Structures are given as structure tokens and as C-alpha cells.
Structure 1
Amino acid sequence: MSAHQTTAPFQSTIGSAPIGSALIIRWVHPSPEGPVSPLDVGRFLLGRGEKCRTRLEAEAVSRYHAEVLLDGSGPRIRDLGSKNGVHVNGARVEECPLQAGDVLRLGACVGVVVAREPELVGFGEPFPGLLAGPVFWPVLDAARAVARTDLPVIIEGETGTGKERVARAIHSWTGRNGAFVALNCAALPESLAEAELFGYRKGAFTGADRPSQGHFRAADGGTLLLDEVVDLPLPLQAKVLRAIEAREVVPLGETRPVPVDVRLVAAAQTSLHEAVGQKRFRADLLARLDGATVRLPPLRERIQEVPFLFTRLASRHVSRLPALDPRLIEALCRHDWPYNVRELDLLARRMMALHESAPSLRVEHLPDRLTLSGQSAIGRADPPRAAGAGRREGRSTPADDVRDFAALTTALEECGGNVSRAAELVGISRPRAYRLIRAHGELDLEALRSGR
């Protein structure tokens, strides 16, 4: 597979694809890497029978379970009197039109209607820790092409989409011998930001009892990731610009510049061009960073990959993965995943910790917030706003608070009551996490920390 561009824009397939040959049904259960049914002929059968175009060999699937019809009004599915019915987005139907984003269940088989990829690709792990399927793999292919250039890179994506992992992959693909160094700009105290970036000599300021090389020099010969780069204070942005242009830094307390050779990768949840328009980011710094942009799709636009991701993530924590009930897979495919792969990973770890010995993982094992989210079909409503994306502290809505607190509760259970770590997993600040805990008053942090 090849990538022919240094920018990897991602166009949402949910509810936007034309009818006919532009759509496929990708069957994701019992195998997350199941067959594909192109919606490109006038009529075809689904089931276990020999005449079926796609044979679905699974429990509770009838010999001729359903038919798919394609005419001028678009594709639709019709139950052929099957014993266990045809379910579309959780509801049993006799006949129903299909569009991108629909989740189908026929017996124990689950499929997702998605736009046909320009090149049908499979599933795998193209870089350690990075799991990819038909939607995400071309994005990584483009990132690999960018890595072979000397261009600076911007990675855009909602919280939990894997920006740091992709940055690590880019560093590995460059072949540079220096270290990969990641700096979360949002977590930098403004008073120490310059020292953290450029280093300092001993005694440069109160508390500087030993020298520090800083992140730029730590990444010399390698790659420096400036995560949440839009949160760099504006005065410091000017100094970062100078360091990039001069290829040198001046540590605090020193007068002589130190040369550095750094491949720069910047990451942000939202467009840096929008941040420039909002006067939050310097246009001249953006001009220096804007060599190539890799846009990571949110998990709600990778819905056909969710069963594969869940299976692989859960398998990392157990020696034997329990069987997966088709209704569980259906619910996972219908959740909107506001915290993206990070949320899915946390769910997989939680379910393995609580239900590893169960003969099968069932929908009843899911937290209430996931089963409730599946009551509306993905693709039939506006996509949810990412947690924290596009809003600053102090401007959250009641709905934001409810969603963030639910995710924070799960994260705190996973992290043993460590608020800083849980806030990082959820993608919110530590002060906001404490405000949510105080507002709800339902969490016993001491009990979580002691394991009671």
C-alpha cells in the first residue's frame, strides 16, 4: 500500500456516502476481520445457504436469512422470515433502508455499513502499539511517507485518538538516532515553561540546584513532540519560533547559544489555523510548523474497526479471551466513543479485570453509559463533540459535566484513585477533575486508593 500525499485529510464516511457501489457491509463478528458484502448489485442473499452471495457461518443464522435490494432509492435489507430476525441499530425490522453507519445483526453475525475504501485493506499492527484497520491504515501510510521527508509535522486529532503514538511511529520511521521526547504543553506551569523547553544552568533561578538540558536538547538528533502546542503561552511561542529558525537554544542563565538538530512534531486537538484566527497561536510559528498535516479520525469514524480493536486490546490483559456475545459487539459498534481509543482501551482493561473468568462477555457487563448511548444510531445524529475539544476550562455545559464525570469515574477505578492519571486518561485538567468530584460527591477516593 502506498501514500501519495504528505497531508492525510480524513473525510467522514458516516451518513455521507452515496448509494450503490460506494457502500459495503463489513462483517465484524464472529471474526473482527470478516467478509465484505459490496452493495453493488440489484439483489443478493445473506445467510448460510449455497446461493448466498455472502455466506454467514454463525449460530442463529438461517439458511436464507435476509436479502439486500438495491434500486434507485438506495440499498435496503429485508428479512426472509428468519427465526432470529434482522436487527438494524438495535431494532428488529422486516425491511429497512441502509446508510453508512448502520449496525446490522443477523443471528450471531454483526456487520457495519460503511463507505467502500479506495483500496480494501485489512487489519493489523503496523507499528508497536498502533492498531489499524481499513480507515486508520491509510492515515498511517501517509504518516510514514511524511516521516521520510524533513518536513515539520502537525498531528491533529481529538483526545484519545493516538497522537503521541503516531508521533512515536513517525520518529521511528525517520531513522533518526536521537531520542523521541514528548512534552505536554498544557501541563507546563507558565513560570517554568521556558526552563523546561530550553534548559538552565545551576542557580539560574530559585530552586535550580542542578543544571537541566531541557526538552529541545534532550531531543537533539531525534524528534521533539510538542503535544497540545496551542497551550504554549504566546510569549514563549516567539522563543520557540526563534529556536526553530536558528536551530539553537539559549538555556536560562547562559548567554551562549547551543546548536540543536531536532525534528519537530506538533500535536493539537483542533485546527491550529483556527487558533491563529482566535489570537491563541502565532501565525508565524504556524508557518514554520505547517509542513505536513496528519489528521487522525475519531473512533466514531472507525466504527468498523472497533471489534478488532477491542479484541486486540482486551487480549493484552488475559491469557484467554472469553467469547464475545454478538449483542456486546453490536453495542460497541453503536457507542459514539467521545474519548476515542483511550476510552475503548480503558473499557477493555476494566472488563478483563472484572469478567475474565466469565464464559462470555455480554452486553450486561458494559457500564450503563455505553448501553444507553447505543439507543440512538450512529450516523443518524450530529457527531458528539470530543471531550475538551473546542472548549476551555469554565465553559463546560451540564452535558459535558455528566459525560466527563462518567468517564472520570471509570478512569479512577482503573487508576486506583490517582486523580492526575485519571484526568490524563480522560483528557481533562486535574483542577476540572477535582471540581467534578466535589460537585457530585459520590466518589470515595480513599477507598479507591486503598483498594476497598
Structure 2
Amino acid sequence: MTIEPTAFITIEDDADAGCRSGTPLQPYLFVVLRCDQPLAGGARHGLSDVDLVTIGRGATRAATRKRDGEIRHLEIRLPCGTISSTHARLARSIEGWVLEDAQSRNGSFLNGERVAGATLLRDGDVIQIGPVFLRYRAALPAAPAIAADLDTVALAPRAPGFATLSPRVAEQLVALERIAPRPVTVLLLGETGTGKEVLARAVHALSGREGPFVAVNCGGLPGSLLESQLFGHVKGSFTGAARDEPGIIRSADRGTLFLDEIGDLPLPAQAALLRVLQEREVVSVGGTRPVKVDLRIVAATHKPLDQMVLRGEFRGDLLARLSGYRHLLAPLRERIEDLGVIVGDLLRRLDIPAASDLKLSTTAGLRLLRYPWPLNIRELQQALSVAAALTTDGVIGEAHLPEAAPGALAPSSPALHEERGDPEALRRQLITLLEKHHGKVTHVARDMGKARMQIHRWMQRFGIDPNEYRGG
């Protein structure tokens, strides 16, 4: 087999000007999930400076890099009795990375099929070695500050929600951790169920603020009492106002106010909230004197606020105040490499008897990796709770998990899940937003509520060159 070096790929984006001229991409191999010990977490290994990977049994999970002559060798050890001492190999070739079983006792599997001979890997392929699932990614952003090798046993996140093996997510969380102690308003964007409140609580925990964390669902407040509940009221200001009430905002004084589903806040309340952000003071309903408040605002939504501003559904000046720092949470289908980390965390936190003794069948493990998780981490949490209740022998089987929905990840497809619907409408939307933002892909991703890598994949699919929209 011919061993050839693989060149780095770069994706240029005007929005990154001043930080770096392009984001380098490199291949990775992730240890995602161990079915016989779901709490064991996983590991990541960068392959940019590797020619050969061998996977076999070891006393503990470990990785060693060495040179065998001219061959740069990565040796991965996995602790399980059903794994052979040398079980499988990955080798770099001119075409890409190739997987080959090393005449193991129990065989190697690729996307659920037993490997016979050398097989070229494609982005998103799932490799099974005994009860362990690994995942190959052909090109992920490789930030200089993010280590190529990382095992979850070495992860010590300073707050819940910060544990990740994904290089891209890790880079974003490093930035969010730097923002947390600063008095900067944070806007969390992402689909429903991606863990926005978990991150909001983490920002508060890392902020060092003495006051409480107060969460309010803006979509759950009754319209007739919304301003009274947010800003408080004085006795007698309306029927039923039997006493003075400080309101939700004042109750977060010296702490953090988390405004969940901020996109559902009615326009009149938006105007009053804008005053709070500008003046740092609250006027109660029926009151005349403003009261100073010291608080940190973290807001969250799954709605496209920029588009809502254009339609007159959200105040542009309020959005500008909320957007001190924007953080986009990736949907679970775009960070399947973190599935084992998230499963372990959920099993520890859920009220499940003997959760540490639970196991997964390998068919169940494959289902978890291939299911599209349209409702994200929240859906995974519910699925694990139900599955743990259904099992009678401590082993979660495929029958205990949700049925694979139409559009579930195909074995050879990448992690990113493309929207169903009219492809031509999607193409037109991309072109419209590229024209609006002069080819700045990061801004297009923000408007669509998607990861930037998703936008690049769509552009590649439709043959769209963002450079054509960067003139003028």
C-alpha cells in the first residue's frame, strides 16, 4: 500500500479576517462509545501527521505516537477481552484513509457490515471494534490551541456542558469561557434541545457574580401579566395587585438573568427590556421611580432573530444590545463524535437505578450513532430514560430505542443532517443570504441558525462559490 502525505485544506471566510486567513482542516479518528461501559466516554486523535493507525487490546484506553522507520505510527489500545491484540489497521493512501481488519478473532465492522479486505473510508464512517464504536471524519477544523489527542479521562470542564471532543465545539467553548467573567451580554443560538440553559448556567457559574441565576421562559409568560412579572408592580396598580412585587428582573440583581426563547417576547415588552439594558434600571408597573439593577443578561432562542428584525417582528436595537457575544450551539447530529460523552453525562445525572451497571447491545450502539436526533440532547435524554426503564437485564437493546425516522443518517453520510424540503428553495435562500452578507459565510450560518461547515457543504452541493458575492 502506498503511503502519501495528505495536504491541508483551507476554507476562506471574510468574517475571519484579522484572526486567520483560513481554517485548516484535518482528518480525525474518534473513539465515540463503548457499549459494555457507556460511562467510559471517548477520545479523539488527529491524523494529519500519521501514516498508520493500529487498533488493538490494552489494559487501559491509551494512544501512543511513534516512528517505525519512515512511517509515523499511532497505536490505539482499547480495554476489552473481545478485542484482539492487533485488531485493525488504518493506513493513509493516495485516495485517503483505508481500513483493514488484521485477521482479528471477532472481525472488524464498518457501518454495521463486516470488513473484508482493504476498504476506503468516507467522512462519517462508523467503525466497530468489539463493543467499541469509532468514527472517522475526513476534514474537521483544527484550531492551533486544540490538542490533536484528547481522552475524556483527562477532561476537567470547569462547568457542566463544557465537556467535548469536537475540535470546533471546543474552540467555541474556550471563547465562551473567556467571555463568561466579563460583563458582556451573551446570546445563545441553536435548535431546541441543544442545551442552551445548561450553557447559560455555566456562564453564570464562571462569571463569579454573587447573585442568583434566574431563568425565565419568555414564551411562557401570559401576555396580560408579562410586564408585571418581568418588571414588578406596585400595590394597587391593577386589579389583583395586593402588594408590591419586585419582578423577575430585580430578583436577579447582582446575578444573571436568563431570558429563554427571547424571540417570543412581545414588542411592547421588548421596548421596556431595551431600557433595562441601556439604563440598568427598572420601572415597576404603576411606579414612577426607576430602581437600579446590577445584572448580567444571557438570552437564548431557536428563532432567526436577524430575519425577524427585517420582518418587523423583533426590535433591531434590542438585538444589537443582546448580541454582545453570540454563541451558536451545534445540533446533536453535527457532533455525533460527542455522543459517548453526552450519554455518559446523562446516565450520571438521570435518576436511573444502577445506571453505572447499564450496558448497550452493539446494535443499540449503532442505532444511537445513526439516529438523526431531530430534538437533540433533550430527545436523547428521554430515549435513555425510557430505554433504561424497559430493559429487564441491564442491557439496552435496539428494541428499547426510538425507531429510525425517515432521513436517518446513512452509513456513509457525514454527520450533518440536511434539511428536508425543496432543494431549489434552499439554493435560492443561500444565494439571497450570500448577496445580503457579501459572501460572508459566518453571517449566512448565523441567519440560518446552522453551523458554518453545514453552509459550506450546501454550497459545495449546489456548486455555489461565495467569492462571487464578495465584490463591492
Does the TM-score normalized on the shorter chain lie above 0.5?
A: yes
Higher alpha-carbon deviation: 116-125 or 358-367: 116-125
Residues of 2 paired with 1:35 and 1:218: CA distance? 42
Contact preservation (8 Å) 2:30, 2:44: yes
Matched with 1:377 is: 411
Cα distance, 1:366 vs structure 2: 1.7
Task: For residue 34 of structure 1, report the CA deviation from its aligned partner.
Answer: 4.4
Amino acid of the residue matched to residue 352 of structure 1? A
8 Å CA contact 1:201–1:251 kept in 2: the answer is: yes
Distance 2:156 2:190 in 1: 20
Contact 1:307/1:333 (CA < 8 Å) preserved in 2?
Answer: no
Q: How far has the Cα of 1:199 moved from its partner? A: 0.9
Structure 2 residue 258 is the aligned partner of structure 1 residue 258: no
Whether the aligned pair in 1 keeps the contact of 2:44 and 2:165 (CA below 8 Å) is: no
- Conservation of the 8 A alpha-carbon contact between 1:331 and 1:374: no
Q: Which residue of 1 aligns with 2:68?
A: none
Distance 1:383 1:343 in 2: 16
CA shift for structure 1 position 321: 2.1
TM-score, length basis structure 2? 0.69
Shift of 1:230: 1.2
Task: Work out whether 1:333 is the aligned partner of 2:377.
Answer: no
d(CA) in 2 for partners of 1:177, 1:385? 43
Amino acid at match of 1:130: G
Corresponding letter in the other structure for 2:55:
L
What residue is the counterpart of 1:46 in the other structure?
Answer: 55
Displacement, 1:33? 3.7
CA offsets, 1:252-308, max 9 Å, x none?
111222221221111111443233233221111111111111222211222122123
- Partner AA of 2:225 in structure 1: L
Q: Displacement of 1:229 after TM fit?
A: 0.7
Alpha-carbon distance change, 278 to 85 in structure 1, aligned in 2, over 3 angstroms: farther
Distance 1:378 1:184, change over 3 A: farther
Distance change >3 Å, CA 337–CA 378, structure 1 → 2? farther
How many correspondences in the alignment? 369
Question: Residues 157, 381 of structure 1: CA spacing in aligned structure 2 closer, same or farther, 3 A cutoff?
Answer: closer
Rounded Cα–Cα distance in structure 2 between residues aligned with 1:53 and 1:359: 32
Whether the aligned pair in 2 keeps the contact of 1:307 and 1:329 (CA below 8 Å) is no
Which of 3, 19, 22 is residue 27 of structure 2 equivalent to?
Answer: 22
Q: Does 1:73 align with 2:95?
A: yes
| Corresponding position of 1:323 | 359
Change in 2 beyond 3 A, CA 1:378/1:143: farther
Give the corresponding residue for 1:104. 127
What residue identity is the alignment partner of 1:383? H
Identify the residue that residue 428 of structure 2 maps to in structure 1. none
- Distance in 2 (alpha carbons) for counterparts of 1:380 and 1:258: 53
**1:206-355 → structure 2 map (5 Å cutoff):** 206-316=239-349, 317-319=352-354, 320-355=356-391
Specify the alignment match of 1:367 in structure 2.
402
Distance 2:213 2:234 in 1: 23
**Does the CA-based 8 Å contact 1:61-1:109 persist in structure 2?**
no
The residue number in structure 1 matching 2:165 is: 134
8 Å CA contact retained: 1:272, 1:286: yes
After superposition, the Cα gap between the structure-2 partners of 1:379 and 1:193, relative to the gap in structure 1 and judged at 3 Å, is farther
* Structure 1 contact 157–298 (Cα < 8 Å) conserved: yes
Shift of residue 218, structure 1, vs aligned partner: 0.9
Q: How far apart, CA to CA, are the structure 2 residues paired with 1:348 and 1:364?
A: 12
What does the per-residue CA deviation read over 1:9-63, in whole Å, with 9 as the maximum and x for residues that have no partner? Answer: 9xxxxxx995xx5322435325644455543444444344999833444344345
Tell me by how many angstroms 1:337 deviates: 1.4
Go from structure 1 to structure 2 and tell me whether the alpha carbon gap of 1:229 and 1:83 turns closer, same or farther (over 3 Å shift).
same
**Unpaired stretches in structure 2, ≥5 consecutive residues:** 1-15, 17-22, 59-63, 65-72, 421-472
Q: Percent identity?
A: 37
Structure 2 distance, partners of 1:344, 1:46, is 29
Asked if the contact 2:32/2:339 (under 8 Å) is kept, the reply is no
Structure 1: 5+ residue stretches without partners: 1-8, 10-15, 387-452
| Cα-to-partner distance string for 1:388-440 (whole Å, 9 max, x where unaligned) | xxxxxxxxxxxxxxxxxxxxxxxxxxxxxxxxxxxxxxxxxxxxxxxxxxxxx
Distance 1:140 1:382, change over 3 A: closer
Looking at structure 2, the residues matched to 376 and 17 of structure 1 have their Cα atoms a distance apart, in angstroms, of 27
Partner of 1:193: 226
